[in-house]
Amino acid sequence: MAGVTEADFLLAQRGTTQELGGWVVAAIFDRAGVLGFALADGTVRIGDITAEAHDGAILSACADAKGGFLTGGDDGRLVHTAPDGTVTEVAKFGSKWVDHVAAHESGIRAASVGKLAHVLDGTGKVLKSLPHPSSVGGLAFDAKGKRLAASHYGGASLWFVAAKEDKPKVLEWKGSHHAIAFSPDGTHVVTAMQETALHGWRLADGQHMRMSGYPGKTHSIAFTSRGRWLATSGAESVVLWPFFGGGPMGKAPTELAGGDEVLCSAVACHPQHEVVAAGFGDGLVLMAEVASGKVVPVAPPRGSAITSLAWNATGTRLAFGTEAGLAGFVDLSKR
């Protein structure tokens, strides 16, 4: 972002930042729009409130099913933190790490512990524990909360949450898979891999989609609101794969906001418009409109990589966090 002064960033006019002192694992807006930051020091920060959620590190976090925040820690616990900072243990899984969590507004939650993905109800009761051939690398519910996808070595497994008999649809692809996402319409599943590439499956016919060419590992993937584009980190620009017109097979991806020779480390798509927020390894945050390629600078590079980005449901606020513990948000609503 050469030639851009500090004052040009939205943060200067419309933003707030905080130094939280710990690695920001996730910036999260809960279902009611309350902003929280889950930190590797085991706390969830909500405004001035510090909730001591875990004895150890938070490894993953998401908006909980019915409000508040859901976190998994290296203390083997799955914890709910309410917007007022009240902490409730949802489940405890012994000495193993709770690596990944997911929740759906219907009231269902999932937490992976090693090779098992546990599905829990709103009360924290474990409804089922789904086994995988290796440790789970990522978890995602589809938009309706009917299916749960878990990535692992050799591919991904798709489970029907309410099935009487648990037999997964196994999506195979050689290699180790981590971050995973459903397309908003539930027709595709995409994973990020150990081998600086993505892999996707069209569920209707099992068609494979290979998306490669990244200089770094992709950690963050997100579909735009209507599922036309898949935004990804891992390159020196925001790489977007077209999921329309027969793509992404045989189509080149669109690249936005490149040129700084710093790897993109996190992406988040606007909930309504085809706008992508992207964070980079040097702390830069920007927004880019897919159609025009127009870029708006959000936060200047402060040296520490962006670990997480989140939009609120109406798309009026964008929050970010860094490895060094800087967290903040910008307010984009009309004044």
Binding segment for other proteins (CB under 8 A), chosen from 44-52, 95-103, 267-275, 284-292, is 95-103
**Residue labelled with tokens 């405890």:** 92
**Ranges within 219-258 binding other proteins (CB under 8 A):** none
Give the side-chain half-sphere CA count within 13 A for 189.
Answer: 30
Q: How far apart are CA 307 and CA 323, in angstroms?
A: 6
Q: Which helix (H) or strand (E) holds 12?
A: helix 10-14
The residue among 314, 300, 219, 315 whose CA lies nearest residue 17 is 300
Q: Are 142 and 153 in contact (CB under 8 A)?
A: no
74 interacts with other proteins by CB under 8 A: yes
Cβ distance to other proteins smaller for residue 154 or 247: 154
Q: Is 174 in the site for other proteins (CB under 8 A)?
A: yes
Smallest gap from Cβ 75 to other proteins, in A, equals 11
Q: Does 59 bind other proteins (CB under 8 A)?
A: yes
Alpha-carbon radius of gyration of the chain: 19
Judged by CB under 8 A, which stretch of 168-176, 253-261, 267-275, 308-316 contacts other proteins?
A: 168-176
Of 137 and 200, CB closest to other proteins: 137
- Asked if 129 interacts with other proteins (CB under 8 A), we say no
Are 19 and 312 within 8 A, CB to CB? no
Which member of 216, 242, 247, 271 binds other proteins (CB under 8 A)? 216
Closer of 47 and 175 to other proteins (Cβ): 175
What's the sign of the alpha-carbon dihedral 240, 280, 45, 70? positive
CB of 89 closer than 8 Å to CB of 79 = yes
One of 14, 115, 128, 273 touching other proteins (CB under 8 A): 115
* Residues 130-157 as b or e (16 or more Cβ within 10 Å = b): bebeebbbbbbbbeebbbbbbbbbbbbb
What DSSP letter does each residue of 148-215 carry, written as one string?
EEEEEEEEEEEEETT-SS--PEEEEEEEEEEEEEE-TTSSEEEEEETTSEEEEEETTTTEEEEEE--S
Interface mask toward other proteins for 296-335; x: CB under 8 A: -------xxx-----------------xx-----------
Interface size with other proteins, residues (CB under 8 A): 31
Minimum CB separation of residue 324 from other proteins in Å reads: 6
Binding mask 189-208 for other proteins (x = CB under 8 A): ----xxxx------------
41 binds other proteins (CB under 8 A): yes
Q: Cβ 255 to other proteins, closest distance in Å?
A: 21
Binding site for other proteins (CB under 8 A): 23, 25, 40-41, 57, 59, 74, 95-97, 99, 114-115, 134-135, 137, 153, 174-176, 193-196, 216-217, 303-305, 323-324
